[in-house]
Structure 1
Amino acid sequence: SSQIDCAPSSATRKPPVAGVRETERGASMSPQPHFLVLTFPLQGHIAPALRLARRLLVAAPDALVTFSTTEAAHRRMFPAEADAPDSGGGDDCRLELLPFSDGTETGYVRSSTDPAAFTDYMASFQAAGARSVGELVDALAVRGRPVTRVVYTMLLPWAADVAREKGLPSALYWIQPAAVLAVYYHYFHGHAAVVADHRHDPSFLVRFPGLPTQAVRDLPSFLTESTDPSDFFHSVYTTVRDLFDTLDRETPRATVLVNTCQELEEGALAAVGAYDALPIGPVLPSGDEAGLFKQDDAKYMEWLDAKPADSVVYVAFGSLARMEREQLDELLLGLEETGRPYLCVVRKDIKAELADGEASETEMDAPLKNGMVVEWCDQVRVLSHAAVGCFVTHCGWNSVMESVACGVPMVCVPKMSDQRMNAWLVECEWRVGARAEVSGDGVLRAAEVRRRVEEVMREGEAAGGARRAASEWKAAVVEALGKGGSSDRNLRVFLEGITSGVSL
């Protein structure tokens, strides 16, 4: 285990009885608020869940938080614990990091040739995870740190069942846009047939209650590609289906914390009125973050420091996207042809795969005329830098929210899951970017890279729409997250409902 964030004694004085909150009169009353935050072992899930854990600590100074993901992911995040598994602070530490078991030693090992391996992993994750989390809840109670609320991300519907069995309330933390939450809700509540009938027609328009008309190509890929049992991600589709069944069984109504803000998605939030959906985001990092990927040293920040304002194109396609040699060549060629400086993230695993092909790592690391290539970086720090003027992104929701919060316009290259709808929001709803089109063989060509980058980075009154809109949305997000802003108020509503004993 690991315990961190030992806060100053004035904010986190130790209660006279472990796990019991002291009232103003000094009497022991309700249990000390203790959130168990559970998440799937992917970087795109771990990052927002750990950020929420830290934000809960700030918003509720008397609360405890335990953050938990699988043992394999935990070891990658905190390798130093291999030599000292019981290291950590004492009882005064408010955030504790404890893993749960997914029934495996190594976690899921990606296999492109055996989709059944992923299905088997998801079955193990559900069965072993539920059993292990139940044991974790019991162990925390024995230690005098009883859990009072379970918060879980989207691929853990079983977490709500564990909470119910233990007599605990739970809340879903939705780490995708409210628009995707609304689409999934209506799909699983009477609108599946129209999508199924037209899932091979990307231009067919679908209208879900309360939402703008959507083309099939913009819907979550798990609804258009993964309903077939032979699809690699079919078990994700069934897990999401189970999630909405779980939410429907909550009484009186399910609570869903959404990583968005009211100003960005007011209509979509209204379209999921069956649940108590509380937009509390964007939930951003509050300092250095633990994660599954090791960052390069900070030379890229020195490189950015030497560049003019709004001149750099930042390129990153997240923690899961694969990339063939042809795609990397086209991407770098298009970036070079813009004549602009660029910072491009090419993950270590991608470089290793490509090194087995035509190019060696040495050749790939050769100096580029206009750009710099790194294996991983502090993305929010990069997007916050004055030199960055454009973000070429896969449109994972974390990346989109970070870019909006930093006021950086985007070139969208979506591929799967919610990314296509995220790109639609960026381009059509908020008008802070443009979607790049891939060729018939699925490759983003150099000419399209160049064209879309120039489109969003143009200057002047007639052409700077994306940049102006990005600046305006940044201001709206800052206000929402500030004291008394919409997201701040919603988080406090959630916390006040817990501390007063009301189940939201």
Structure 2
Amino acid sequence: MDSISNPHAILVCYPLQGHVIPTTHLAIKLAQKGFTITFINTESTHYQITQKKGKTETFSNVYLGHQDLDIRYMIVSDGLPVNFDRSLNHDQFMASLLHVFSAHVEEALVKTMESKMDPPVNCLIADSFFVFPGKLAKKYGLLYISFWTETALVFTLYYHLHLLKLHGHFGCIDLSEDPIDYIPGVKSIKPKDLMSYLQETDTTSMCHQIIFNAFKDVRNADFILCNTILELESETISALQIEKPFYAIGPIFPPEFTNSGVSTSMWFESECTHWLDMQQHATVMYVSFGSYAHITKNELLEIAYGLCLSKVGFIWVIRPDIVSSDDPNPLPEDFESEICGGGGGRGLVVPWCCQKRVLAHSAIGGFLTHCGWNSILEAIWCEVPMLCYPLLTDQFTNRKLVVDDWKIGLNLCDKKPITKVEISKKIHNFMYGKLSDECRNVIKKVKKTFGNALSADGSSERNLDNFIGKVCK
């Protein structure tokens, strides 16, 4: 398709918290660069973000630098009722995204195009995990820009699934345990460091179907934007650029890191600042396993007792559905009263919080994390080393980058089942040991790389400008 002079992009947001955050800030970043954006959210995501905020629209307060950005907003159904429990009925939710959601997006796209808006729609930007954007873009004569919210390493492993199958590392009953050293731009990776879906022998799940179809579709993309940093994944990105126009434009943060001016949280955020203000510098461990993955009741209890034994101060985010929506209070009855002491003790348990604000607080000395990519980027920006406990999907691969490649974190435990004694020792050593000091020194250097990439002449800013230059002539 020919390049375009006045870009108006339909931007479709994937309806999971870890995708909503970078997609929202990508919309703002592109609008600041002159794009008109029509942002499509699902009714369910919209409701979760706005119900506690008293707002009707995600971008209602976006006036950055006294600039009124041209961001328009639409909500569509994902095919399920708004109040449907998507966490408890995960497979049904994924099936709807796989089979139903595209029809609602197409209806919104056609409605927007037929409204004769100025400027006319000429781009479709969609999360790479969607299975339909390439087909829709081709059908309506639009440029297709795929937005990948995770690392370039994870992208290239999915992109080269055919090679993993060929060498017996995926889709086999007996998976090979040999190192994977044949993926372009990847020196070597162990099978245990692959994404969780690629370690499974049963590849018939809804998530597998989404992965297969999404990465067939992404081959139709005209451009790929990635929320990573060139300097951290240079070899992988160079190899991908041979396949596709691939631009590393991360980390995609708001101009004011802890105050974005736009709502992205799908849960009510508890206020933690007052409690943190009472704690000493770098003495508190922040514990969060993200917005999506679940842990077993036994894992949660061992972590709880391990935190008790460690004698380390902590803030622990425990989503009401972290074990199951049917078990909203999975902690022992006496845990909060004994450890948290009504808010005056050495621990604070909250259902959700503003993670960036917590990580940026001077009292935080470490982060026990599931290794979600947003969490890693935010921890690096705040120079907080990580104690890694991956649970699902890309988190195992991210752990490899954090611990083995970049040396900015440590493993909580290498083998399951985890025990409270092991957890206690690891937490204490992580907060006060020599290895933790080494991680802190290295993470300062990585943070500097981030800052350089985001500067006016940095790699991420140049890549974004180069991408826009290719789209707009």
Task: Give TM-score scaled by structure 2 length.
Answer: 0.86
Please tell me whether residue 330 in structure 1 is matched to residue 302 in structure 2. Answer: yes
Indicate the residue corresponding to 1:282 in structure 2: 251
Is the deviation greater in 375-384 or in 344-353? 344-353
Q: Is the 8 A contact 1:324 1:354 kept in 2?
A: no
Question: 3-state DSSP class of the match of 1:209?
Answer: coil
The question of 1:38 aligning with 2:38 is answered no
Between 478-487 and 120-129, the greater mean CA deviation after superposition: 120-129
Tell me if 1:248 matches 2:219.
yes
Match of 2:75 among 99, 102, 109: 99
Preserved CA contact (<8 Å) 1:101 1:128: no
Q: Which has the larger displacement, 184-193 or 171-180?
A: 184-193
Contact 1:325–1:354 (Cα < 8 Å) also in 2 = no
1:266 to 2:234 alignment:
yes
Among candidates 354, 371, 383, match of residue 407 of structure 1 = 383
Checking the alignment, whether the CA contact within 8 Å between 2:249 and 2:460 is kept in structure 1 is yes
Quote the offset at 1:331 in angstroms: 1.4
Spell out the pairing of 1:273-312 with structure 2 (5 A cutoff). 273-286=242-255, 287-298=260-271, 300-312=272-284
Could you tell me how far apart the structure 2 residues matched to 1:187 and 1:86 are?
36
Matched, 1:124 2:124: no
- Tell me if 1:458 matches 2:432: yes
| Higher mean C-alpha displacement, 32-41 vs 481-490 | 32-41
Residue 458 of structure 2 is matched in structure 1 by 485
Shift of 1:204: 3.6
1:375 corresponds in structure 2 to 351
Cα 1:241/1:255, change in 2 over 3 Å: same
Match of 1:77 in 2: 49
Q: Residue 449 of structure 2: which of 476, 479, 496 is its match?
A: 476
The letter for the 2-side match of 1:217 is K
Q: 1:236 and 2:210 equivalent?
A: no
Alpha-carbon contact 1:69-1:99 (below 8 Å) kept: yes
CA deviations on 1:192-238 (whole Å, 9 max, x unpaired) are 44213767558542222321221111101222227522xxxx22222
Question: Aligned pair 1:314/2:282, yes or no?
Answer: no
1:198–1:204 Cα contact (<8 Å) kept = no
The alignment-based identity, stated in percent, is: 26
CA distance in 2, matches of 1:72, 1:270: 38
Map 1:65-214 to 2 at 5 A. Answer: 65-79=37-51, 94-106=70-82, 109-110=85-86, 117-118=92-93, 120-139=95-114, 141-188=115-162, 191-196=165-170, 203-207=177-181, 208-214=183-189
Gaps of 5+ in 2: 63-67
Shift of 1:484: 0.8
State the shift of 1:87 in Å.
11
* Residue identity matched to 2:460: S
Aligned residue identity for 1:338: S
What SS class does the counterpart of residue 97 from structure 1 fall into? strand
DSSP 3-state at the match of 2:137 = helix
Residues 204 and 108 from structure 1, CA distance in 2 versus in 1: closer, same or farther, beyond 3 angstroms?
Answer: farther
2:50 paired with 1:64: no
Question: Following TM superposition, by how much is the alpha carbon of 1:436 offset from its aligned partner in structure 2, in angstroms?
Answer: 2.0
> What is the rounded CA distance, in whole Å, between the counterparts of 1:329 and 1:393 in structure 2?
16
User: Is this contact kept in 1: 2:179–2:191, CA < 8 A?
Assistant: yes
Moved more, 210-219 or 471-480: 210-219
CA distance in 2, matches of 1:225, 1:261: 29
Distance 1:454 1:438 in 2: 17
Shift of 1:316: 0.5
Q: Name the CA shift for 1:355/1:54 in 2 (closer, same or farther; >3 Å).
A: closer
CA drift of 1:127 comes to 4.1
Partner SS for 1:128: helix
Residue matched to 1:17? none
Kept in 2: contact 1:36–1:149 (CA 8 A): yes
Matched residues in 2 for 1:110 and 1:86: separation? Answer: 21
1:54 corresponds to: 28
Amino acid corresponding to residue 362 of structure 2 in structure 1: A
Indicate the SS of the match to 2:349.
strand
| C-alpha distance in structure 2 between counterparts of 1:87 and 1:343, whole Å | 30
1:463: how far off?
A: 6.0
Contact in 1 for aligned 2:168/2:176 (Cα 8 Å): no
Aligned equivalents of 1:358 and 1:476: distance in 2?
40
CA deviations 1:135-172 (Å, max 9, x no partner) are: 34425x43434223221112213122212222110111
Partner residue in 2 for 1:448: 422
Structure 1 residues 101 and 225: CA distance shift in structure 2, 3 A: same
SS in 1 for 2:72: strand
> What SS does structure 2 have at the residue aligned with 1:373?
strand
Contact 2:91–2:206 (CA<8 Å) still a contact in 1?
no
Larger Rg: 1
Q: 1:306 to 1:356 in 2, by over 3 A?
A: closer
The offset of 1:397, in angstroms, is 0.9
Residue 400 of structure 1, CA deviation: 1.1
How far residue 88 of structure 1 moved from its aligned partner, in angstroms, is 6.2
CA distance in 2, matches of 1:279, 1:176: 11
TM-score normalised by length of structure 1: 0.81
1:107 Cα deviation from its structure 2 partner: 7.5
Structure 1 unpaired stretches of 5+? 1-29
* Letter aligned with residue 74 of structure 2: L
Q: How many residues align?
A: 455
